[in-house]
Amino acid sequence: MAVVGLGIDSAQISRFQRFVTERKETLLEHLFTVGELDYAAGHGAQAQHLAACFAAKESFCKALGTGLRGGLSWLDMEVVHDALGKPELQLAGRAAAIFQERGLSTLHLSLSHDGDYALAVVVVERL
């Protein structure tokens, strides 16, 4: 496999805490899937999870080299977790189509939190 894209992003957790505290539901529903919102609400650090999801989506767009254009939507990317809690990025809609059109085969996601920041790295590979 060959690495064809790498993206990294950070997001300020306090910014997402403000969105939660101020009940910015319309904004949150624009940025996050129902699954992401439910996962974050079910954990003690809701804003931390949302910031990490946002950073993951930004990182994916950077790894593709497209940014959020070409029909991509925030809801085309969803951070999910396996049984052990490992994060994964699931693609739908235009994000999945671009991934397939480019012959991409593998997507790696790593998330981290430190202080007031959530960090994400995405690596995209092609066979």
Give the CATH number for residue 27.
3.90.470.20
Tens digits of residue pLDDT in 20-74: 999 999 999 999 999 999 999 998 899 999 999 999 999 999 999 988 888 899 9
Range of the domain at 106: 2-126
Sequence-distant (≥ 6) Cβ neighbours of residue 105 within 8 angstroms = 1, 125, 126, 127
What local confidence, expressed as pLDDT, does residue 67 receive? 86
Q: Specify the number of domains making up the chain.
A: 1
The pLDDT of residue 1 is above 90: no
Quote the percentage of the chain above a pLDDT of 90.
91
How many other β-carbons are positioned within 10 Å of the β-carbon of residue 127?
A: 8
What local confidence, expressed as pLDDT, does residue 43 receive? 82
The pLDDT of residue 121 is above 90: yes
d(CA 7, CA 115): 21
